[in-house]
């Protein structure tokens, strides 16, 4: 019970500490590939039933590598390779009888060996290489934390095993039917009382298959790194023993009866099968990445990339030549007769024409500026402006330098991952990033206003990675 409470306390501490750290990374990208290192421990034991003994479960631990690939937002496949170590024990308190044995002192006579075990305890240790293959499912809990579940099969490859008997005693006697006599307390002939003191390798195990399941939470440790904390369990589906043995636990060496041969639980008739059982807590550190770059906001991609705000220089009218004094006319131009009752044709006003052209240029520039959306393919905890969007900001800065009356408002937006407060702050950070870039390009700060709408004004659905990429943006509006 104390071990269970300690494990629960450790899991609670991990969840508390990293839930605080998690809020700073609310916009971590969801990846399609994960590679990690995991470590787990808890119940881990060979599962068997002894005919005359009491089997006890033990503790185990494991460590290994895992790889996961998600085909969409929720489903994927996981593959791993782990080393697992298990422990178990079997205690015997009974009398075992083996009939029809021969003794080296009188090979022509058979006898029955009786072995009485008193508190005899055999401890087993097994080591396996496990290869799990699981169907994975994940669900976003908010603040970029994910609930991850897995279910599949696991191949168990035995690497080594050993048993140790160092508790309790056993006593041997021999009954010779031919003479009707029981022999005891003759250690030189193998009949006596002995303390437990034997160990040997466990042999004859074969590969097996287990059912495996996992359930836990993945917490972000940055844009790519993550911490997984959860529970795992596995149960053997096939028998690991190579056949059923008919040998007793202990016999005397026919060549030297003073020496006993202890076969061990798994090589005796005490058990007819053995499977693996594991359950515990697992912690993993993983690294995530995606095979392709998250698509940028189509609002910027669908427009022609060359349509950027530019200054239009209006042609200046050519000055009319001034008349030269005393100049003689070279030719006579006949003027048409003017009807005095006809309305006079107004001459074009150069100032009004220049104002009209300037208004038209401003309207065109406004349309181009307000169609500009700076996309944010989020990386880390700081907004990043791509090289293509930086060219747009340079063109806008050139237009604002040419027109000192021009003012703009930059509004930051986010997707719906995370809380409303966190996204409102993140939207303001994105608007501020665009403002600082324009200031760096020579635009006075008082001509650039900023605002944030957080996740309130999406331009695409947030249920796909592409839609969320479109909503991570900053819009620019021309004020006047």
- 27-61 pLDDT per residue, tens: 455 789 999 999 999 999 999 999 999 999 999 99
pLDDT for position 9:
47
Helices (H), 37-92: none
**All structural domains of the chain with their residue ranges:** 2-87+121-163+199-289, 298-309+353-478
Smallest CA-to-CA distance from 234 within 375, 134, 312, 365 is with 134
Q: Please list the residues that pair with 126 across neighbouring strands.
A: 86, 161
pLDDT in tens, 133-157: 999 999 988 767 899 999 999 999 9
Whether the pLDDT of residue 95 is over 90: the answer is yes
Average of per-residue pLDDT across 402-415? 90
The mean per-residue pLDDT over the stretch 371-397 comes to: 73
Question: What is the structure's pLDDT at 258?
Answer: 83
Domain 2-87+121-163+199-289 in CATH 2.40.160.20: yes
Q: Is the domain 298-309+353-478 a CATH 3.30.1320.10 member?
A: no
Question: Rounded CA gap, 68 and 309, in Å?
Answer: 46
The mean per-residue pLDDT over the stretch 226-230 comes to 96
Residue carrying structure tokens 């450790």: 10
Q: Which long-range contacts (CB under 8 A, 24 or more apart) does 318-324 make?
A: none
Averaging pLDDT over each range in 204-213, 301-310, 457-466, which range is the top one?
A: 204-213
Tokens of 57: 């479960």
Domain 2-87+121-163+199-289 and domain 298-309+353-478, same fold? Reply is: no
On the 0-12 / 13-18 / 19+ scale of CB atoms within 10 A, 459 is middle
pLDDT at 120 over 80: yes
Query: Confidence class of residue 378 from pLDDT cuts 50, 70 and 90?
Result: low
Identify the DSSP state of 343. Answer: P
Q: What is the pLDDT of residue 418?
A: 85
* pLDDT value of position 29: 58
The pLDDT, as a whole number, for residue 27 is 46
CA end-to-end span of the chain: 72
| Listed residue (140, 135, 133, 76) closest to 291, CA to CA | 76
- Reported confidence tier of residue 313, pLDDT bands at 50, 70, 90: very low
Average pLDDT rounded to a whole number, residues 468-480: 87
Separation CA 238–CA 416 (nearest Å): 47
pTM tops 0.75, yes or no: no
pLDDT of residue 2: 46
* Higher per-residue pLDDT: 249 or 258: 249
Q: Which residue's structure tokens are 């392709």? A: 292
Q: Give 215 or 342, the one with higher predicted confidence.
A: 215
pLDDT-based confidence at residue 229 (cuts at 50, 70, 90): very high
Q: Across residues 222-244, what is the average pLDDT?
A: 92
Neighbours of 17 (CB within 10 A): 12
- CA–CA separation, 254 and 400 (whole Å): 104
* Digit-coded pLDDT (tens) for 152-188: 999 999 999 999 999 999 999 999 888 888 999 988 8
Nearest to 379 by CA among 22, 25, 21, 19: 25
Q: d(Cα 396, Cα 448) in Å, to the nearest integer? A: 12
297 in Cβ contact with 374 (< 8 Å) = no
Measured distance CA(444)–CA(397) in Å, rounded: 10
Contacts of 359 (CB under 8 A, 6+ apart): none
CA atoms within 13 Å, Cβ hemisphere of 394: 8
CA distance 165 to 261: 13
């Amino acid at each position: 019970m104390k071990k269970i409470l300690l494990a629960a306390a450790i899991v609670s501490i991990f969840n508390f500490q990293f839930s605080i750290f998690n809020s700073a990374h609310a916009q971590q990208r969801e990846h399609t590939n994960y590679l990690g290192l995991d470590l787990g421990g808890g119940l881990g034991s060979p599962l068997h039933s002894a005919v005359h003994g009491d089997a006890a479960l033990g503790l185990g631990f494991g460590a290994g590598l895992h790889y996961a690939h998600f085909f969409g937002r929720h489903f994927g496949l996981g593959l791993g390779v782990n080393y697992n170590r298990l422990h178990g024990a079997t205690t015997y308190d009974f009398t075992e009888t083996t009939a029809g044995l021969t003794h080296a002192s009188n090979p022509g006579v058979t006898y029955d060996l009786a072995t009485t075990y008193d508190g005899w305890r055999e401890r087993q240790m097994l080591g396996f290489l496990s290869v799990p293959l699981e169907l994975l499912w994940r669900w976003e809990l908010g603040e970029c934390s994910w609930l991850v579940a897995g279910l599949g099969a696991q191949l168990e490859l035995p690497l080594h095993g050993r048993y140790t008997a160092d508790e309790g005693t056993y006593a041997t006697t021999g009954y010779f039917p031919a003479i009707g006599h029981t022999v005891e307390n003759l250690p030189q002939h193998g009949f006596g009382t002995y303390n437990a003191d034997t160990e040997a390798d466990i042999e004859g195990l074969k590969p097996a298959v287990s059912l495996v399941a996992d359930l836990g939470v993945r917490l972000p440790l940055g844009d790519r790194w993550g911490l997984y904390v959860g529970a795992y369990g596995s149960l053997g589906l096939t028998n690991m023993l190579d056949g059923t043995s008919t040998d007793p636990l202990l016999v005397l060496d026919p060549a030297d009866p003073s020496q006993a041969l202890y076969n061990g639980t798994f090589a005796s008739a005490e058990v007819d099968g053995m499977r693996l059982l594991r359950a515990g807590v697992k912690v993993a550190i993983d690294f995530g990445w995606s095979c392709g770059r998250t698509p940028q906001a189509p609002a910027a991609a669908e427009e022609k990339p060359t349509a950027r705000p530019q200054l239009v220089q209006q042609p200046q009218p050519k000055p009319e030549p001034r008349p030269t004094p005393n100049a003689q006319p070279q030719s006579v131009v006949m003027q048409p007769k003017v009807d005095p009752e006809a309305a006079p044709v107004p001459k074009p006003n150069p100032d009004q024409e220049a104002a009209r052209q300037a208004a038209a240029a401003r309207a065109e520039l406004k349309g181009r500026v307000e169609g500009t959306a700076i996309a944010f393919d989020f990386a880390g905890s700081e907004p990043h402006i791509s090289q293509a969007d930086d060219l747009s900001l340079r063109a806008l800065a050139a237009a604002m330098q040419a027109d000192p009356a021009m003012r703009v408002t930059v509004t930051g937006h986010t997707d719906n991952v995370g809380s409303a407060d966190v996204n409102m702050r993140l939207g303001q950070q994105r608007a501020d990033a665009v403002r600082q870039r324009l200031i760096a390009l020579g635009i006075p700060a008082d001509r650039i206003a900023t605002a944030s709408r957080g996740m309130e004004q999406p331009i695409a659905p947030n249920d796909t990675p592409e839609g969320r990429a479109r909503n991570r943006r900053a819009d620019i509006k021309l004020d006047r």
